[in-house]
Amino acid sequence: MILSSYAHAIGQLRDPRFRRVIWFGVALAVALLFAMYALVLLVVQIFVPGTLTLPIAGEVSGLQTLLSIGSLFFMLGLSVFLMVPVASAFTGLFLEDVANTVERQHYPGLPAPTPVPFATALSDSVRYFGLLVALNLVGMVVFVFSGGLGFVVFWGINAWLLAREYFTMVALRRHTATEARALQKRHRWRLWFAGLWMAVPLSIPFVNLLMPVVGAAAFTHMYHRVQGRKPGSTQAG
């Protein structure tokens, strides 16, 4: 079920409508990543006097670092940790478009969903965003001092949070909030494994730029699979 959901999500990259969302999503991910990178440097500049030596980047000294060519490599390194919050912010903006595109192609005949109000989607994303930023910054520190073993905990926690957020947002299109959360809890372990397949690629530079859209598509498939539907199904309800 999980591998099939991701395979169908990746296979839909051939769909021109899906590719438009992908490119828009990549542009948004890059913009959010740069904004978060600038925020990290701002925090460093405020709380750390002079310069600071960081892994990958070397010395960090504010605006000059932000504008330097070397900062690109630093941002790619940070993307290993910061793309998870970016993916979280993504759900409130594009998940509805992705889910609609997936359903038109793979689940025809379903009644039209009730769109999640933008304010609700955005508030849910913001609620997770701060938590994910904090966890991933802690994960970055743990990674530096643990020889990489911190990735195990890092992936496990992010898999849980991303699965809960993405699946619930898809389910809210066809269920009440209470029903959506109950459905998520009923299948939480299966969804955690699906979240793991999203969390790990989010740690791979460049690949992680595609994962918010691919993840949204995969969790749309996961939602329909736990409802007993398969791609190509015309079952209504």
pLDDT for res 58: 56
Domain segments of the chain: what residues? 2-226
Q: Please tell me which residue, 137 or 210, carries the higher pLDDT value.
A: 210
User: Phi/psi of residue 173, each to 5°?
Assistant: -70, -20
Each residue's pLDDT tens digit, 213-237: 899 999 999 999 999 888 876 555 5
Task: Pick the range with the lowest mean pLDDT from 86-95, 170-179, 183-192.
Answer: 86-95
Q: What angle do CA 21, 208, 73 make, to 5 degrees?
A: 120
Each residue's pLDDT tens digit, 17-71: 788 888 887 887 778 777 777 776 666 566 655 555 555 555 555 545 544 555 5
**What is the DSSP track for 193-209?**
HHHHHHHTGGGSTTHHH
Each residue's pLDDT tens digit, 94-143: 788 889 989 988 998 888 888 777 777 767 767 777 777 777 777 667 77
Mean pLDDT of the chain: 78
pLDDT for res 67: 45
Start-end of H helices in 61-117: 63-67, 70-106
